[in-house]
Amino acid sequence: MLWMLASMAQAQDCERVSVGQLTRADGPGVLVLGARQATQKDLNRARRIVRRLAKDHAITLAIDVLPASAQDALDRFVRGVVSLEALPAALDWEHTTELSFAPYAPLIQLATDGVHVLAIGQPIALRPQDAPVQLPPGYINVLADTMGDGAVPVELESRLVQTVAYHDQQIARAALDGWDRSGWLVVLVDRTWVQGGLGVQWQAQRQTDSPVTAALLAEAGAQCYPGDRSLP
């Protein structure tokens, strides 16, 4: 039954959206973008969206691939204390991520053009017992889909949903805490946290009165869930 529900949820094409549609609204607002990690096409599109929005608005760009502990190094880069070439070492990039730095460099460099870049990455950990978190309805169906053939044992479903929802909540909270509520907050996260509409954007909607929208930066051959939007 679980897999039947998941496949039914996916049985539709993505709703296509253009860069123009994503950037035409007035702020303040929150835009959550789902990217394939270290994929140049997706990150180039994210940069294009940010630059388009920055023509008329103040922009805060929150990036989940950068752990929150990297914020000090980013701030030193903005002040000119650290060069772009030296930034990976200052960020301890090699030890905090297995991804290539090069695809992210143009995005991070926007910090020198007036974009406020935030490091918001959070570890995936079990939800502390005293930490409340709202659970999206039907989230297990979306999460099970991302695991391919690896079925989730019934007894672990609740723990999985709570762990991922808590991670989504912490990502959203870190981004919103670093935003001054002016202009646009653009939150760039792994597309896994955007598909299905129950991830980071769902949690952000419950933490701010500003409008929250989301889009996948590429269809990437995947079908979508109801309400998902994607650049073609």
**Per-residue pLDDT at 189 exceeds 60:** yes
Give per-residue pLDDT as tens, 157-188.
999 999 999 999 999 999 999 999 999 999 99
pLDDT at 2: 36
pLDDT at 143: 87
pLDDT at 74: 96
Give per-residue pLDDT as tens, 16-75.
999 999 999 999 999 999 999 999 999 999 999 999 999 999 999 999 999 999 999 999
Percent with pLDDT over 70 in the chain: 91
In a domain, 36, yes or no: yes
In a domain, 91, yes or no: yes
**CATH code, domain with 183:** 3.40.50
Higher pLDDT, 66 or 145: 66
In a domain, 232, yes or no: no
Give the domain range for residue 153.
2-9+25-219
pTM: 0.92
Mean pLDDT of 93-105: 93
In a domain, 20, yes or no: no
Q: pLDDT grade, residue 146 (50/70/90)?
A: confident
Mean pLDDT of 182-211: 96
Q: pLDDT grade, residue 150 (50/70/90)?
A: low
Closest CA to 136 of 190, 195, 203, 187: 203
pLDDT at 151: 66
In a domain, 17, yes or no: no
Q: Quote the strand ranges of the chain, DSSP E.
A: 15-16, 29-35, 59-67, 116-121, 184-190, 212-216, 229-230
In a domain, 49, yes or no: yes
The answer to whether 42 touches 218, Cβ cutoff 8 Å, is yes
Mean pLDDT over the full length of the chain: 90
Q: pLDDT grade, residue 12 (50/70/90)?
A: low
Lowest-pLDDT range of 2-6, 114-118, 154-158, 222-226: 2-6
In a domain, 190, yes or no: yes
In a domain, 169, yes or no: yes
Strand order in the sheet with 15-16: 15-16, 229-230, 212-216, 29-35, 184-190, 59-67, 116-121
Say how many domains are in the chain. Answer: 1
